[in-house]
Chains A and B, each alone.
Chain A
Amino acid sequence: MSKKFTFLFVMLVISSMVLAACQPEVITETVEVPVEVEVEKEVEVIKEVEVEVPTKTLVFSSRLFSPPREQEFFINEIIKPFEEEHGVIVNFQIIDDQTLLDRAEVQQTTDHITTDIVVAHNSRMPEWIEAGWVEDLTDVVAGWDDRHFSEAFVTDTNKDGAQYFLPVGADVYLLLANNKALPYLPDGVELDTITWEQYAAWAVAVAEAEGEGKVCITGIPMKSWIYMFGGTALSYGAGFPDASSAGAMDAWKVWETIGKAQGFVPTVMNIDSCVDPMMREESWLTVFHNARAGQVYASNETQFTLAPAPTGPVGTGSIAGVSGYAVMKGSANYDLAIEFLEYLTRPDVQVKLAKGTGGFIPPVQEAIDYLGDEAIDEVINKAVLVLENGVVSGVPGGNYQDWGAVKACFDDVFEDTILTGADVTQERLDAAQTCVDDLLN
């Protein structure tokens, strides 16, 4: 019996090692071939051109395009044409912002730079730039005259006049409603011009009629509540992040109305993204991230309605975010990386990307001309409306010690005041503002 065990065990070890050894020997210099189909294609290309140079691999680590359907699209429709044209391989990997930074730290401190291009969220860009882990792309960008990046995000992508990140996939907030909520819409209210007060009244009407709140916000700490509230605050002329100004107070009052009527979905404290509760129809109303709103909308266009975010006295407020491409400092494939970025930021490619991935806004001014009038364009169009005509603000993450902690200051007000149905007092808001200001760098 023991012999059998030992034998099986040794076999397991040996077979796994043999199997591992069977992979191409050249693995470190060349390839980790993404998909089998691509192997064939690669071979074909090489045959045609009859080059014997080993295939270059570009390592592309991204926080963006993480939903599996978006990954599939990005790999097949965006990366493949580039790979075929240049006879290279792009190793595309999804990694969240924090892990990406951790990994960069390991690579930079031990001088094993294996990642070539990173995609970070604009709130994390300052960390990258300050650590000196990304290349200065100012001169490269100056050489491209067919595209102009949207001005909305320069505070994050640039530092001291130098550009480090190239923006991609911008987002704003949109109103998404389950059609079951439409009968409760107050008389005379048009969804495309709805105000925040009307939105609150609508939410209250739904809660009263259904006996249960139906508004979704992300109640799990340090998710998107700060952005959801930020949109309201901007609509009332407040800044961002601003918890206590007169405009902010007006914005809190909107949410106070919903809270007092128990208008939030009962599971609100366990929601980290409104996608699932909206799809399960646990919640019916929300104002959230356009790409995710587009995802829910696409799951059943006849069941959901999309509209720009509600407006306030100074317009439609929305937080706008963006991701950005950057080249890792010390990348061995710098030139190829630049070529790939040139390709990715072309206006037509940006539009293709925006459409294929469900409604991100292409942050290149020229790209907006390429939009058509299909259903997905509707989502992008509404988002562009908010971005262009609205009162938008980026995320000034770099001004604070830690953005997650700033988010928590706002989460606390929601948890102890709005959700409990208490009155919003200036005192509470001043405390929240102190909480935010204490985190200033």
Chain B
Amino acid sequence: MAATKPKSLRKKLEKATPYLLVLPVVAYYAIFWLRPVIAVVIGSLTDANGALTLHNFAMVLNDEKFWPAFNNTAIIVVASVTIEFIGALFLALLINRKFFGSSIFLFLTLIPMALPAVATGAMWITGFTAHGWLNSLLYYLGFLAEGDKIYWLGGLEANTFKLLVLVILVDAWQVIPSMMIILLAGLQNLPEETKEAGYVFGGNYMTVLRKITMPMLRPTIQTAVILRLISAIQIWLIIVLLLGFGRLPVLVERIVYYHEEVPGLDISYQMSAGYTIIVSVIVSLTALVYLRASGAFKKEEAA
């Protein structure tokens, strides 16, 4: 009897440990984050006079820019997450080969990620303008005849597809390194022996990658992709830097638009709150779908 009591206490404590470890986070969010969020949720559910309504969401869904914004966002997310994942995985695998100079190579590839928005803004704006460095470079290399110009951000006719491609590439340039470091960190932990075993049993590089490396890297891949997915849906700054508001609408750009460009409209707050809630619902659903599909939750249920 006397022996079991401390044991059960210990057991209880053991059971409580994970909750204790998570508690600081929950407390932190409750203090700094929850209240403003609740305020926005309430804002999205009330009209200008404070009465409860669902009208705000109807207003957002009927906004002429909502569906273009939704579609543009969807295209950007699908394309950029795919491109960025492939690019990041390729770079991570390359660096993980630990060739002579790989450490410097890693440092150099990380530079795009370290640049602040003022630098990237100045960089792309002076690059994409008709008399910019990109056209200058093409001219020096002989690809552009004198007097010829490429209008990177579109000439007199707006071409959404071209702009999307450009935005996706520019975004990938800056984001690939940040995705790469997560994958690389995960690669560090893979025991070399397993891979060697794969080679011993006659696997080539691709089969070892597919059958051994990738499955073992799964938690890291899930993290890298989910984090990227979440921020890709919320892309806006680079678009506004290059094109201003409204030219290539995306969902979060709409929030910022009502928040900062036209804050004085009677409906501005309702619109930005409505957009905010809709965006967070879209992001959560996408994240849930991804996590379920990639099996992030399944493992726990089995265990």
* Residues of chain A whose beta carbon lies under 8 Å from any beta carbon of chain B: 98, 127, 220-223, 262, 264-270, 272, 276-277, 280-282, 400-405, 408, 419, 439
Contacts and interface: CB of A to CB of B under 8 A. Distances in A.
A355 B244 CA distance: 32
Contacts of A402: 262-265, 268
Contact of A401 (B244, B246, B265): B265
Contact of A405 (B129, B131, B244, B262): B262
B108 to A, nearest CB: 22
Contacts of B243: 220, 270
Interface residues of B, number: 25
A264 B265 CA distance: 32
B155 A266 contact: yes
Contact of A266 (B156, B260, B265): B156
Contacts of A439: 265
User: Secondary structure at chain B's binding surface: helix, strand, loop or mixed?
Assistant: loop
Given A127-B264, A266-B151, 4 more contacts: A98-B263, A269-B156, A270-B128, A400-B264
A86 B43 CA distance: 49
Given A267-B155, A270-B243, A419-B156, A222 B261 contact: yes
B280 to A, nearest CB: 22
B264 A282 contact: no
B263 A270 contact: no
Contacts of B242: 270
B248 to A, nearest CB: 11
Contacts of A268: 156
Contacts of A403: 264
A266 B156 CA distance: 5
Nearest to A280: B131
A404 B261 contact: yes
B151 A221 contact: no
A264 B129 CA distance: 15
Given A264-B156, A269-B158, A419-B156, A280 B129 contact: yes
B154 A269 contact: yes
Interface in B42-58: none
Nearest to A412: B246
Which of B151, B156, B242, B268 gathers most chain A CB within 10 Å? B156
Given A401-B266, A404-B262, A220 B244 contact: yes
8 contacts: A222-B261, A270-B153, A270-B154, A281-B131, A402-B262, A402-B263, A402-B265, A439-B265
B245 to A, nearest CB: 6
A262 B244 CA distance: 22
B35 to A, nearest CB: 14
Nearest to A212: B149
Contacts of B158: 269
Nearest to A272: B244
Q: Which 6 A-B pairs have the closest CB atoms?
A: A402-B264, A220-B244, A266-B155, A280-B131, A404-B262, A402-B262
B247 interface: yes
B245 A270 contact: no
A221 B263 contact: no
B17 to A, nearest CB: 23
A432 to B, nearest CB: 16
A277 B130 CA distance: 9
A222 B129 contact: no
Interface in B123-153: 128-131, 149, 151, 153
Given A221-B247, A269-B154, A419-B156, A282 B263 contact: no
Interface in B238-259: 242-247
A272 B261 CA distance: 14
Given A267-B151, A401-B265, A402-B262, A282 B245 contact: no
Contacts of A98: 260, 263
Contacts of B130: 265-267, 282
A402 B155 CA distance: 30
A128 to B, nearest CB: 13
Contact of B129 (A270, A400, A419): A270
A281 B128 CA distance: 15
A282 B154 contact: no
A222 B131 contact: no
A262 B246 contact: no
Interface in B86-141: 128-131
B183 to A, nearest CB: 21
B250 to A, nearest CB: 15
Nearest to B244: A220
A277 B126 CA distance: 11
Contacts of A221: 244-247
A98 B131 CA distance: 32
A121 to B, nearest CB: 14
B247 A269 contact: yes
B127 to A, nearest CB: 12
B129 A276 contact: yes
A214 B46 CA distance: 49
A190 B253 CA distance: 46
